[in-house]
Homo-oligomer: A and B are copies of this chain.
Amino acid sequence: MPSSPIRKLVPFADIARSKGVHIYHLNIGQPDIPTPETMLNTIRNINLKVIEYSHSAGIESYRKKLVGYYAKFNINLNWEEIMITTGGSEAIEIGMMSCLNPGDEIIVPEPYYANYNGFSTQANVNIKAIPSSIKTGFALPPISEFENAITPKTKAILICNPSNPTGYLYTREELETLRKIVLKHDLYLFSDEVYREFCYDGREYISSMHLEGLDQHVVMMDSVSKRYSACGVRVGALISKNKEVLKAALRFAQARLSPPTLGQIAAEAAIDTPDSYFEEVHKEYVARRDFVVDSLNKIEGVFCPKPRGAFYCMAELPIDDADYFCQWLLESFSFNNQTVMLAPASGFYSEPSLGKKEVRIAYVLNLESLKNAMECLEEALKVYPGRTL
Count the A residues whose beta carbon is within 8 Å of the partner chain — how many?
A: 59
Contact for A254 among B118, B258, B260, CB less than 8 A: B118
User: Distance in Å from the Cβ of A369 to the closest Cβ of chain B?
Assistant: 15
Q: Which of A29-66 contact B (CB under 8 A)?
A: 30-35, 39-40, 43-46, 48-54, 56
> Is A149 on the interface with B (CB-CB < 8 A)?
no
Distance of A145 Cα from B210 Cα, bound (Å): 58
Interface of A, helix, strand, loop or mixed by DSSP: loop
Contact across chains for B124 and A252 when beta carbons are under 8 A apart: no
Distance of A31 Cα from B254 Cα, bound (Å): 18
Q: At the interface with chain B, which of A85-93, A296-304, A377-385?
A: A85-93
Chain B residue nearest to A257 in the complex (CB): B89
Which residues from chain B contact A248 at a C-beta distance below 8 Å? Answer: 1
User: Distance in Å from the Cβ of A124 to the closest Cβ of chain B?
Assistant: 6
Which residues from chain B contact A254 at a C-beta distance below 8 Å? Answer: 3-4, 7, 115, 118
> Is A156 on the interface with B (CB-CB < 8 A)?
no
Contact across chains for A233 and B34 when beta carbons are under 8 A apart: no
Contact for A258 among B124, B232, B261, CB less than 8 A: B232
Contact across chains for B30 and A255 when beta carbons are under 8 A apart: no
User: Distance in Å from the Cβ of A268 to the closest Cβ of chain B?
Assistant: 14
> Is A133 on the interface with B (CB-CB < 8 A)?
no
Contact across chains for B255 and A233 when beta carbons are under 8 A apart: no
Given contacts A122-B122, A233-B261, 8 further A-B contacts (CB under 8 A): A3-B254, A7-B56, A39-B51, A43-B44, A52-B231, A122-B252, A122-B255, A231-B257
Question: Can you spell out 15 A-B residue pairs with CB atoms less than 8 angstroms apart?
Answer: A2-B251, A4-B251, A30-B53, A31-B50, A39-B51, A40-B48, A44-B44, A89-B257, A93-B256, A118-B251, A119-B255, A122-B255, A231-B257, A231-B258, A232-B261
